[in-house]
Amino acid sequence: MNYKHDKDKVIKKGMELFWAKGYHNLGVAEICRETGMTKGAFYNAFKSKENYLNSTIESYGNLISDHLEKRLTNSKLKAFDKLLFLYKELLDAQTKNKHIGCFVNNTMSEMGALNASIASATSDQFNKFLNTIEPTVREAQKDKDLCNTINSKLLTEIIHTTFFGLLTRSKSTKTSGSTVMTTFLNTLKNRKYERN
């Protein structure tokens, strides 16, 4: 199939390719073969493999941010329970997805220390995820279900960074890590207000 007239399809295909192979194991020739683009069309549209990757990272980040927002706003659960359910669902999905991980996390792990542009692109998307999750963390703190001795932005980063670590570990252990995440979130409960 020739994708050259549909940039969104080319970016989606690139996301799949980079996700499966990583940056270093994917060449422009394979990208062109898989998308039906000529090298000239590829470089005209994206300028470089790095820019192409950054476009796929942004597209993936938008998809995930939308998913997170839907999961966290379309529920009648209390905020803390929304967080428990969200992370359990995301980690359990890894088993179904052959432990492929998160595209942003994978790219951050592979390229974050090697390429400033890619590091910036993955960091921007990670921050977008945090900004989507933080209102729910703040609400859980307001509900006195999460500790409030740490501000909600930092607490969200601690929670989501732990999740990214579990995604990475899940790839090597072939386990979901959802029990570890649930235990971790429960350790952050505001013990002062718990009932016996």
Residue identified by tokens 């839907």 is 70
User: Domain 54-193 maps to which CATH number in 3.40.50.300, 3.90.1010.10, 1.10.357.10, 3.40.50.12280?
Assistant: 1.10.357.10
In this prediction the pTM is 0.88
CB 38 within 8 A of CB 21: no
pLDDT tens sequence across 82-114: 999 999 999 998 888 887 888 899 899 889 899
Q: What is the pLDDT of residue 5?
A: 59
Q: Cα angle vertex 122, ends 84, 101, to 5°?
A: 50
Domain assignments of the chain as residue spans, ordered by start: 54-193
pLDDT tens sequence across 115-124: 999 999 999 9
d(CA 185, CA 47): 43
Instruction: Indicate if the pLDDT at residue 191 is higher than 70.
Output: no
Average model confidence (pLDDT) for the chain? 90
**Mean per-residue pLDDT for 147-173?**
92
pLDDT tens sequence across 2-16: 555 588 899 999 999
Instruction: Indicate if the pLDDT at residue 196 is higher than 70.
Output: no
